[in-house]
Structure 1
Amino acid sequence: MNLDAPPFSRFVHDGLELAYFDEGDPAGPPVLLIHGFASTASVNWVFPGWLKTLGEAGFRVIAIDNRGHGASDKPHDPAAYRVPLMAGDAVALLDHLGIPEAHVFGYSMGARIAAFTALLHPHRVRSVVFGGLGIGMVTGVGDWDPIADALLAPSLEAVTHERGRMFRAFADQTKSDRLALAACIRTSRDLLTAEDVARIDVPALIGVGTKDDIAGAPQPLAELMPHARALDIPGRDHMLAVGDKVFKRAVLDFYAEIGGD
């Protein structure tokens, strides 16, 4: 396997056409990958090597372009981006592929979607991996309204907010629909309560970079969950932790320990 983007297919759910890829070993245990805000399935999972890593380990590797992102439809209505709706897209993809249960692995916003998937559709989730989102899943991850403002600014040069500049530059790099992303960031930050998190009773791994100033620490989130463990990804920030070799090794070990099938 190389790091080129694989062919994408499409299906329709909730009136939206959504893009996905289905690669790896078709007979292997399915892993559903859910990318982060302003990213895509390719940017989050192919280019950092996750498709290669999981595929070579014998998994069936499925990844969705979330609504508003990548090759999927991009509504401009903020109401379209509530997290339970995006969790519904993930489950609808499993339905479309005839998969009763999968390991679900999300990064950043994708981790939040994965958590809602486990809560709202528990019988479809074999395990969860949350990357790039720790206790911020419960306590919040700061004021993101400046990110929406940055996405709507006339140019990157007009943005002074540091985190806003980071996400605006990323959106420009990925040639994203900035109106869709601005709508998404306003409504995709639904928080879970500690009681909600405690009800996620499947095996869980939570990995956060030690230099990540967005996610919140992984240990306090793991402590709320009955079968979770925390992983510090050394020396990595929010953008770089996703492809880290320590994270990849930990995920493979996690799947081997819990039984990947």
Structure 2
Amino acid sequence: MSRFKSFDGVSIYYQRWGRLSAQPPVVLHHGYVANARINWVIPGFVRRLTLAGRCVIALDARGHGRSEKPHDPAAYGEARMAKDLSCLLNELGLEEVDLVGYSMGATVALLAATQEPRIRRLVAGGIGGNTLHLDSHFHVEGRKALSRAMLASRWSIRNPTLAGFRLLADMVWADRKAMAAQALAFHSTRIPLEKISAPTLIIAGDKDPFAKQPRKLQKAIRGAQLKVVLGDHSSVLIRPGFQRAIVDFLQA
């Protein structure tokens, strides 16, 4: 259990499991509201990776888990989280890693892969074709509604998706002001996917409403593979097929 100061002074918490081997470490980045423990440890994914002989590193994104939690939206956004990843690699002196991101973390991973040459293999899970249109009016208004939901009375929220995120925030004791700030700062410009050179796997649950049309995202990344498995946005994380597909891809 360790911390480092990122490029702008925000303190980032991370953990390591397993031993260094001939293969590069696997870095894991979780989704919105969650943390490394919720997304990766409890579902058994960290254990599966270490049993496969991999060293695993997972961080809590700024505003999440045990990392520092500013309340200013200017401190957030996936582009800043991608810089946090590079700072983590610098902190640990790593020359090559495999990167796995889920949901918000998948957007972070894609952004990191457009500018970070130390990423050997890339996995983006829980996102789909909508990633190509982050600047749409629908997404802008959705971010504002999510931010409001984080600060409102839970019983006043009528939209089931917003209510679900708010319930998760309450369940994991998230800092809701930090979550509201990140909601306003969600990435809203085009990701230059053509700059990604690392072999990439796009993986999504067949019933995941946040990962519709994943083939569109796959086609936008040169040479990317696509795997669709059983599950929705939450349940897919514990599915053996989901975990096995990622481990097999990273072992190649």
User: Residues 1-261 of structure 1 correspond to what in structure 2 (within 5 A)?
Assistant: 8-13=1-6, 14-27=8-21, 28-121=23-116, 123-140=117-134, 142=139, 143-154=142-153, 156-193=154-191, 196-234=192-230, 236-257=231-252
Say which SS state the counterpart of residue 182 (structure 2) adopts: helix
Superposition deviation, residue 189 in structure 1:
2.6
Superposition deviation, residue 101 in structure 1:
1.5
Alignment check: 8 A CA contact 1:131 1:242 kept:
no
Superposition deviation, residue 215 in structure 1:
2.3
The sequence identity of aligned pairs, in percent, is 37
Distance (Å, rounded) in 1 between the aligned partners of 2:235 and 2:187 = 21
Structure 2's unaligned 5+ residue stretches are none
Alignment check: 8 A CA contact 1:147 1:163 kept:
no
TM-score, L = length of structure 2: 0.93
Distance (Å, rounded) in 2 between the aligned partners of 1:197 and 1:149 = 31
Superposition deviation, residue 161 in structure 1:
1.4
Alignment check: 8 A CA contact 2:143 2:186 kept:
no
More displaced stretch, 208-217 vs 164-173:
208-217
Aligned-partner residue type, residue 104 of structure 2: M
Aligned-partner residue type, residue 161 of structure 1: N
CA RMSD of aligned residues (A): 1.4
Superposition deviation, residue 233 in structure 1:
1.5
Aligned-partner residue type, residue 40 of structure 2: W
Structure 1's unaligned 5+ residue stretches are 1-7
Distance (Å, rounded) in 2 between the aligned partners of 1:239 and 1:115 = 21
Superposition deviation, residue 249 in structure 1:
1.2
Superposition deviation, residue 244 in structure 1:
1.6
Alignment check: 8 A CA contact 1:29 1:58 kept:
no
Superposition deviation, residue 92 in structure 1:
0.6
Distance (Å, rounded) in 1 between the aligned partners of 2:122 and 2:188 = 18
More displaced stretch, 77-86 vs 48-57:
77-86
